Amino acid sequence: MGDFPILSVVIAVPIAGALVSMFVPAHRPEIAKAIGYAATMITFGFAAWLLWNFNTQTVQFQFVQDRPWIPALGVRYIVGVDGISIFMIAVTALLFPLGLLSSERYITHRVKAYVAWFLLLEGAIMGIFLSLDLILFFVFWELMLVPMYFLIQGWGSERRDFAAMKFFLYTAFGSAFLLAATLALGFIHEADTGSLSFDFRVLADWNGLSGTTEVVLFLGFLAAFAIKAPLFPFHTWLPLVHTEAPTAGSVVLAGVILKMGAYGLLRFSFELFPQASVDLAPLLLVLAVIGIIYGAIVATMQTDLKRVIAYSSVAHMGFVVLGIFSLTVIGINGAVFTMLSHPLTTGALFLVVGMLYERRHTREISEFRGVWKAAPILGGFFLVALFAGIGLPGFSGFIGEFLSLLGAFVSDRPYAIVATFGVILAAVYSLWAFQRVFTGKPQGENAKMRDVNLREVVVVAPLIALSLFLGLYPKAALDRIQPSVKRAVANLERKSDYREPKPHDILRVAGDGEPKK
Amino acid sequence: MNAVVTPITTPHVDWLAIAPEIALAGAAVLIVLLRAVIRRRPGATLAGLILAGGGVLAAGGTLAWQWIHVRDDGPISTMSGMVRVDGFGVYLGIVVVIATALALLVSVAYLRREGLEAPEYLALVLFSSLGMVVMTTANNLVVVFLALEILSIPLYVLAAFDRRRLSSQEAGIKYFVLGAFSSAIFLYGIALTYGATGTTSLTGIARFLAENTLFETGTLVAGFALLLVGLGFKVAAVPFHTWTPDVYQGAPTPITSFMASATKVAGFAALMRVFLVAFPLYRTDWRPAVWVLAVLTLLVGSVGAALQTDVKRLLAYSSIAHAGYVLIGFQAATPRGVEAALFYLFVYTFMVVGSFAIVTVLSMRGDDDHSIDGYRGLAFRRPVLGSLLIFFLLAQAGIPLTGGFIAKVEVFSAASRAGEYALVTIGAVATVIAAFAYLRVALSVARPETDQEAAEEKPRVPFGWRVDTWTGVVLAVTAAMTLILGVVPATFVDWARHASLML
């Protein structure tokens, strides 16, 4: 398959599907659905092929395509994949067909438009994870807002207009700084080297930023990524949007869109502004730890089931940021692993909540009681997904959080110690929510609740199975992640005064009082 | 003493250099003459349309010819250097003619609907367009002033063309009073500049300032400050924008579209040419002033747009904000900046004409009701029209894969290169504020009507076009260009670059 532009195909297939579905007559929604399934499954097929053929022996970007796009601005169409983005692609390709399948009963009106926006969203997200040109990245980054806006606005719950607007404006506000910083970076590079380029690989190799400029530009990137991640205190849009979005929207939001923030931090800000990342790491670690603890505590107090999961996402994303800014290979491995695992577990949870909502048309925890009696398989799914999410050993969540904490422990022990409490709190809010919804004596409608049907099993089971698989055999993913992470950390060491602490450094500190670095 | 008879030497006229102007003027004069001959209304209108179309096509054709000529053989200077046909002028002339053609096409059905059919309308549009084209190539402050008046006076009349409507009358009067005032300021600026430099020729001023060191620069600075005010009024830069919302709202919608696109393009043509050609050595004096203008224009325009409840007024404020982005490019005062500003104006013309074309179609007879709430459910009642409106709004908001995005990136790039990072950041933030305004309209368009609302009149059209052919053409052209400029902009950016290098 030598020159086959597989990455462009992964971006183009969903977008083409969106365009085609626009021309389906409005009274034939089944055709639109068929196009939706076809496009997402073809994309999934290509993504699976990509994962299978991914070369673990190289740290370079693979399947790269590089063409001029706007020559006057030095903007190129560059796509490529490495160990950090490959799993984002895979997870995206997995969640979209499942999201569509889960919408089968939930979305009954304006199916055509729904399918079109949903496919456009997938294409844009693929573009974000594959772009290696900063302007191209920004194009997809902004483009993603449009379908998400219309998905929330068209198919959300009661306060959907407000939620859609809030989502768009919050993230667009961050992007404004991202664009300004991107352009500044490109032109400072041009002034320094004489060649205009927004090619990530070129900029990552270059080391010409002065201290203050680097910090300012880093903050510009951070504004966009912290809002999307969402890092405390920029998370306020998330619970609202999660609550109001349709189920598939929430799944995609928690599964992939939140990862875009972490991905951006990891891919761009962290590698392009190494010294600033090192200098500001304490700040980010503090915010990450606050996010972990705060998210978990607030999740405990929610009365809406979807909000519990939304706040738990704030906490989980805190672990991702903690891992990244531990600036250790182990920690970053953990962050990427969590970015892979969290979509599976949270996706499963949102899907189960969506099923509950479909049956009872409410998400208030107090409305449910003893659902397990009537719908044991549904309850089982929820419990297993919760276990996977809170990091019970054997599930993928455990590996990710464990590695992140390990990384933080090696480099910044106090943060790791505080963050560990987040794991305990996660058990509290998860199990308490489960207890209130599923255990006890069923009353009223809850006693007659229908259990899952085959379609619903097909939607949730793959996510849980994958989480279990990755929990038992993390090597499958880590083999692909690790080389790229090592490259990133090596780049960091090359371009800043930072040296990665090794576990034995700590032991030595404990042993003979030698300085840590 | 013997009287010495000195023969009057008239300057050489290169007729081809002013062919577009002749085409527009000729068509306009013919329409007026024809009106005297043909008394029957339908016949006169039809003949007027044919003539106007011919005039615009001829102007466009000669401009295209000029573009090729200028690109290969360099700029043409004629009439003692009063007119300078260069890439910059021809490029903007083409944009003006495109905007004129689109405005005329939208007008056809509008005039019929409002019972305003009159060939005079077409003649006035052509005269105004003539003034704009003169403006793009004027190389002398006096010619700029003449062009300004030629373009403005027909517009005063056109703004008030729908005499039955009070708001239209008001728009005409308001535009006239404030426009005359700004012309006076501009004239005063010319006088002071002439006093300081002894010439009104733009290249002459530049030469004078390059060769002489002014002992005292007060007069000159006051002169070009007044020029900036006068032209700032034409492009609706804050704080000289106060007329815009009222005039834009009151004027017949196709004229609003014409004012928002062509007039603004012509205004920027003069603004950039005057300052970049005549006062390049004083850029450290005027760039800060333009910086302030740009920031105010961006912020007032986008915040103002966000506060509106009337779509036409919202678009008026949004066009103020757009002027702010062009000012960012102009403020950079580099070939890159000019290129970005030119490209922005090109893209902007299509986006804004497309938006106003839809507003024209949607306005009920009487052209008065444009409330955002009235647009509710449009995407369901008339899917194509509603989707197109959302598309134009997203383009204006600068969403990728539309020309609006590339245009914004261009101006921000130019400013970044000039080291104006603060301006870029303010511009980017203003984009988000403006996005709120556009999204509010989009929200209304994409929101299903409640049953009660649907039960009221508002007929349902299954696959609603229901626009006349010419408006359909305008919508197709503007939408296609907005998309093309966003997806494959390279060629068009190159054109803008050629134009900026030939200033």
Task: Indicate yes or no: CB of B425 within 8 angstroms of CB of A172.
Answer: no
Place of tokens 């790491």: A281
Q: Pick the closest to residue B142 from B83, B97, B77, B214 (CA basis).
A: B83
Q: How far off is chain A from B133, nearest CA to CA, in Å?
A: 28
Q: B439 and A139: CB-CB below 8 Å?
A: no
**Residue that the structure tokens 């999961």 belong to:** A309
Mutation target for B interface from A15, A19, A67, A70: give the one with most B CBs within 10 A. A70
Hey, are the CB atoms on B493 and A72 less than 8 Å from each other?
yes
From residue A301, how far is each of A158, A233, B135 by CA, in Å? 22, 18, 67
Q: Check: CB of residue A358 under 8 Å from CB of residue A308.
A: no
CA distance B291 to B297: 10
* Residue B455 reports pLDDT greater than 80: no
Which pair of tokens denotes residue B448? 């299903």
Residues B387, A56: Cα–Cα separation, whole Å? 45
What is each CA distance from A111 to A100, A140, A155, B363, in whole angstroms? Answer: 11, 24, 10, 30
- Give the confidence band of B367 by pLDDT, cuts at 50, 70, 90: low
Question: Is the pLDDT assigned to residue B460 strictly greater than 60?
Answer: no
Residue pairs spanning A and B at CB distance below 8 A: 87
Helices A86-106, A454-472: inter-axial angle, 10-degree rounding: 160
Q: Do A69 and B399 touch (CB under 8 A)?
A: no
- Report which of A323, A212, A220 is spatially closest to residue A266, judged by C-alpha positions: A323
pLDDT at A137: 94
Per the listing, tokens 């200028």 go with B70
Q: d(Cα A334, Cα A425) in Å, to the nearest integer?
A: 20
CA distances from B280 to A322, B205, B449 (A): 53, 10, 56
Q: Which pLDDT does position A488 carry in this prediction?
A: 87
Dihedral in degrees, nearest 10, Cα atoms B23, B27, B30, B32? -130
For residues A12 and A122, give the distance between their C-alpha atoms in angstroms, rounded to a whole number.
10
User: B264-273 vs B335-362: helix axis angle to the nearest 10?
Assistant: 170
> pLDDT by residue (tens digit) across A108-142?
778 888 899 999 999 999 999 999 999 999 999 99
In B, minimum Cα distance to A25 occurs at B463
pLDDT at B464 over 50: no
Cβ separation of A187 and B416 shorter than 8 Å? yes
CA-wise closest residue to A261 among A286, A297, A237: A237
Distance CA B185, CA B235 (A): 15
Residue A517's CB is within 10 A of a number of other CB atoms, namely 10
Q: Which helix (H) or strand (E) holds A178?
A: helix A160-193
- 8 A C-beta contact, residue B298 and residue B429: no
Is cis: bond before A230, omega within 30 of 0? yes
Beta strands in A131-220 (DSSP E): none
For residue A69, give how far its alpha carbon lies from the nearest alpha carbon of chain B (Å).
7
Q: Which of B119, B144, B115 is nearest to B132 (CA)?
A: B144
Q: What is the pLDDT of residues B7-60, one digit of tens each?
A: 788 888 888 888 999 999 999 999 999 888 887 777 788 888 999 999 999 999
Q: Quick check: A169 contacting B, CB < 8 Å?
A: yes
Supply the pLDDT for residue B45.
Answer: 83
Q: Kindly report whether the peptide bond that precedes residue A29 is cis, defined as omega within 30 degrees of 0.
A: no
Q: How far is CA A139 from the centre of its chain?
A: 18
Is B80 part of the contact surface with chain A (CB cutoff 8 Å)?
no
Q: How confident is the model at residue B303 (pLDDT cuts 50, 70, 90)?
A: very high
Sequence letter at residue A192:
D
Q: Which residues pair with B371 in a beta bridge?
A: B310
Residue A1's pLDDT is: 46
Residues of A in contact with B494 (CB under 8 A): 72
Share of chain A above pLDDT 70, in %: 97
> Which candidate, A154, A137, A253, A250, places its Cα nearest to that of A200?
A137
Supply A328's token pair. 């250790």
Q: How far is CA A3 from the centre of its chain?
A: 30
Which of B394, B406, B409 would best serve as a mutation to test chain A binding (most A beta carbons within 10 A)?
B409
Enumerate residue ranges in chain A where pLDDT < 70.
1-3, 503-517
Q: Peptide bond preceding B20: is omega within 30 degrees of 0, i.e. cis?
A: no
Pairwise CB contact (< 8 Å): B424 & A184: yes
Q: Is A172 on the interface with B (CB under 8 A)?
A: yes
A180 → closest Cβ in B339, B398, B412:
B412
Q: Which amino acid is at B324?
A: G
CB contact under 8 A, B406 and A68: no
8 A C-beta contact, residue B404 and residue B398: yes
Tokens of A515: 């300085």
State residue A516's pLDDT score.
45
Residue of B nearest to A161 (CA): B443
Give Cβ neighbours of residue B212 (< 8 Å, ≥ 6 apart): none
CA distance linking residue A44 with residue A38, whole number of Å = 10
pLDDT category at B463 given cuts 50, 70, 90 is very low
What's A195's DSSP letter? -
Rg, C-alpha atoms of chain A: 22
* Predicted local confidence at residue B478, as pLDDT: 95
ipTM comes to: 0.90
Q: If you search the block for the tokens 């054997």, which residue do you land on?
A: A394
Q: Which amino acid is at B320?
A: I
Distance CA B315, CA B133 (A): 25
**Residue whose pair of structure tokens reads 């494959």 in the numeric block:** B488
The set of residues, in sequence order, having a beta carbon less than 8 Å from that of B473 and lying 6+ positions away, is B105
Find the CB nearest A142 among B399, B412, B447.
Answer: B399
A186 CB neighbours in chain B (<8 A) are 413, 416
Q: How far apart are CA B311 and CA A509, in angstroms?
A: 68
By Cβ distance, the residue of B432, B446, B490 closest to A153 is B446
